[in-house]
Structure 1
Amino acid sequence: MAFGSPNVHWAPPNSGWLKLNTDGSSLGNPGPSSYGGLIRNDHGDWVCGYMGYIGFDSSLASEIWGIMMGLRLIMVMGWDNVIIETDSQAALLLITVNGVDESHPLSLMINECRMNMAELKCYMVHVKRDKNRCADALARLGGRQDEEFVVVDDPPVELVPLLMEDACLRV
């Protein structure tokens, strides 16, 4: 597929909806891990972002952390009508389809995600990595700080070119 194709880049949600893109980052599996996410409105405007450092963990754990913390933020803010996009097929399946038993090391986080999604008017879909570049950048930025959870009111300078490119490609 050619660069600049609208099928490869981020697309805004339907009118009246928000879109949460989330990602995890692990430098090794396991290794130093972090996560990040951002919420945009139906015009593609930045609503807020978040990121965090979780220490030494697996790539799957970092992906689930990103989803879980995004759901927590949505709940705290009182938002509904949210589409959640992740590029982790494994995390998506564990949360939305398969579930896990209590012996699974990520069971508490997975079950929290399942419970929060049932409470909220939201759903989760899988997207290609090219549609998740901003969340990927935030996940990597999460590894550069020490906090477990940081809300970002304005886009970090590293994200501005990606956000602008997404906006131009939607026109």
Structure 2
Amino acid sequence: MEMRIPKLVVESDSRRAVELVQKSQVEKHSQSALIRSIKELLVGLECVVVRHIYREANFCANTLTKARQEQEAGVYCFELPPTMLAQYLLADRCGVKFPRDVLM
């Protein structure tokens, strides 16, 4: 399948998920089949970057994930960003920084 995606940046706030996808060999893991499927999708792309980001940089994805739990299964496409993301998109556009709590 030709996806014609010249560059793809995949960001996750799960450091472990990023490590598993970046490894050359898929280790025994409860999600091995999913990891293998992700790696197979990424192999066909020209330029892929998989990187860890902190939870504070992932507000939109987390908001969509939480909202998704309340909806029927399926694929959802949006012509415009859902209103639930408005505050996060505006904050991002304005360069608002969110503090990160670090436990010591």
TM range (shorter): 0.7 to 0.9
Percent of aligned positions that are identical? 26
Correspondence for 1:143 among 55, 60, 69:
69
Correspondence for 1:100 among 9, 27, 32:
27
Query: 1:78-117 CA distances to partner (integer Å, 9 max, x unpaired)?
Result: 322111111001111111126224xx43222110111211
Runs of 5+ consecutive residues of structure 1 not aligned to the other structure: 1-74
Aligned equivalent of 2:102: none
Aligned equivalent of 1:131: 57
TM-score by length of 1: 0.49
Runs of 5+ consecutive residues of structure 2 not aligned to the other structure: 97-104
Contact 1:93 1:99 in 2 (8 A): no
Q: CA deviation at 1:159?
A: 0.1
The one-letter code sitting in structure 2 at the alignment partner of 1:109 is L
Number of residue pairs matched?
A: 94
Contact 1:86 1:125 in 2 (8 A): yes
Higher-Rg member (1/2): 2
Query: 1:2-61 CA distances to partner (integer Å, 9 max, x unpaired)?
Result: xxxxxxxxxxxxxxxxxxxxxxxxxxxxxxxxxxxxxxxxxxxxxxxxxxxxxxxxxxxx
Say whether residues 1:167 and 2:78 are aligned partners. Answer: no
- Inter-partner Cα distance in structure 2 for 1:150 and 1:81: 23
- Inter-partner Cα distance in structure 2 for 1:114 and 1:126: 16
RMSD: 2.1
- Inter-partner Cα distance in structure 2 for 1:84 and 1:117: 10
Question: SS where residue 5 of structure 2 aligns?
Answer: coil
From the two aligned structures, give the one with the greater strand fraction: 1
The one-letter code sitting in structure 2 at the alignment partner of 1:88 is S
Query: 1:124-144 CA distances to partner (integer Å, 9 max, x unpaired)?
Result: 000011111111111111111
